[in-house]
Amino acid sequence: MLAIFKKELSSYFNSTLGYIILALYLLFSGFFFWMICFNGGTNAVVNVINYMLYVVFFLVPLITMKSFAEEKRQHTDQALFTAPVGLWEIVLGKYLSALTLYVMCNMVFIFYALVLMAVTGASVAWGQLLGALFGIILLGAALLSMNLLFSSLTEHQIIAAVVGIAAGLVIMLYDSIVAAVENFINTLFGGQYEAVVIDKLSVTAHYENFISGVLSPVDFVFFLSFIAFFLFLTNRVLDRKRWA
């Protein structure tokens, strides 16, 4: 697993992809930081993270789009799958390297907080900031696992990225979609129906708790299950290919 992890991580920085992702992350977060903290004159770095949550949905698919798609296209997957390593090692190696790059991106918020303290002398609410940081990392970790699955389903990284962004939009607008469906059904049948279970699957609802500084085990378990579920599916997709 370590070999794959190392190879993946270094391949982000041997190609332009790693730098592009880092640059985009810095660009967007830097813009929000300037808007909120300097132009807006507040010390709420947390709000920068709040805005970045929307950008994450579009950036995360770029991190994993190559993971399996490119291996398949270059036929290098044949070396991976005939090496004496388990499928889980390959999946986890790829996942953890993508996650590492993503966490690296997010370290920038700590830097922003330090800059703010140094430049304006304002105090920063570290507890809230770390909670939000934890939330955005968990959200990204969840999206990464889902996008890793998309990458394993295709040979074309662009398709993986586009599908990932589309799925990200659905997740982002999940609450509105559920509400709209609720509304539609209620006007259609003239009742007072309310969604059960389905509304609990909202990813956004779960990370909003982190952002507001509430660390509840429920949200934690939700994200971990989400990640485990998609990594499991990725593993199955890769294994299925052998049996098809």
Partner 1 sequence: MVEVKNLVKSYGNIDAVKNISFTANVGEVLGFLGPNGAGKSTTMNIIAGYLSATSGTVTIDGYDIVDDAIEAKKRIGYLPELPPVYQDMTVKKYLNFMYELKKVTLPREEHLAEIMKLCGIDAIADRVIRNLSKGYRQRVGVAQALVGNPPVIILDEPTVGLDPKQIIEMRALIKNLGKKHAVIFSSHVLSEVSAVCDRIVVISQGQIAADEATDKIAYMKSNEMRLLLTVEGNSASVISAISAVDGVTKVRRGDRQSDEICDYSVEYKKDTDIRRGVFRALAKAGCPILQMRDAGMSLEEMFLTLTTPTYQDKGGKN
What residues have CB less than 8 Å from 237, skipping those under 6 apart? 149, 152, 153
- Under the binding rule (CB under 8 A), the answer on residue 88 touching partner 1 is no
By beta-carbon proximity to partner 1, the closer residue of 82 and 123 is: 82
Alpha helices, DSSP H, located in 190-216: 203-211
* Segment interacting with partner 1, rule: CB under 8 A, options 22-30, 75-83, 106-114, 146-154: 75-83
Question: Is the Cβ–Cβ distance between 152 and 242 less than 8 Å?
Answer: no
* DSSP structure class, residue 83: S
Three-state SS string over 125-138 comes to CHHHHHHHHHHHHH
Helix (H, G, I), strand (E, B) or coil at 68: coil
| 21 contacts 175 by C-beta, under 8 angstroms | no
Shortest distance, position 236 Cβ to partner 1, whole Å: 14
Least spacing, CB of residue 82 vs partner 1, in Å = 4
**Does 189 contact partner 1 by CB under 8 A?**
no
Backbone angles phi and psi of 106, in degrees to 5? -75, -15
Q: How far is the CB of 68 from partner 1 (least distance, A)?
A: 14
- Told to check if 186 binds partner 1 by CB under 8 A, we report no
Q: Residue 196 or residue 244: which is nearer to partner 1 going by CB? A: 244
Position 80 contacts partner 1 (CB under 8 A) = yes
Asked if 142 and 231 count as a contact pair (C-beta separation under 8 A), the reply is no
For partner 1, which residue of 20, 35, 54, 76 counts as binding (CB under 8 A)? 76
Residues in the chain: 244
String marking each residue 203-242 x if it binds partner 1 according to CB under 8 A: ---------------------------------------x
State the Cα–Cα distance between residues 122 and 117, nearest whole angstrom.
Answer: 5
Sole window of 80-88, 155-163, 207-215, 218-226 interacting with partner 1 (rule: CB under 8 A): 80-88
Token pair, residue 116, equals: 């703010």
Which x/- pattern over 39-68 shows residues binding partner 1 (rule: CB under 8 A)? ------------------------------
Q: Is 85 in the site for partner 1 (CB under 8 A)?
A: yes
Tell me the two tokens of residue 206.
Answer: 């779960």
In the complex, the residues that contact partner 1 under the rule CB under 8 A are 2-4, 6-7, 11, 14-15, 74-86, 242-244
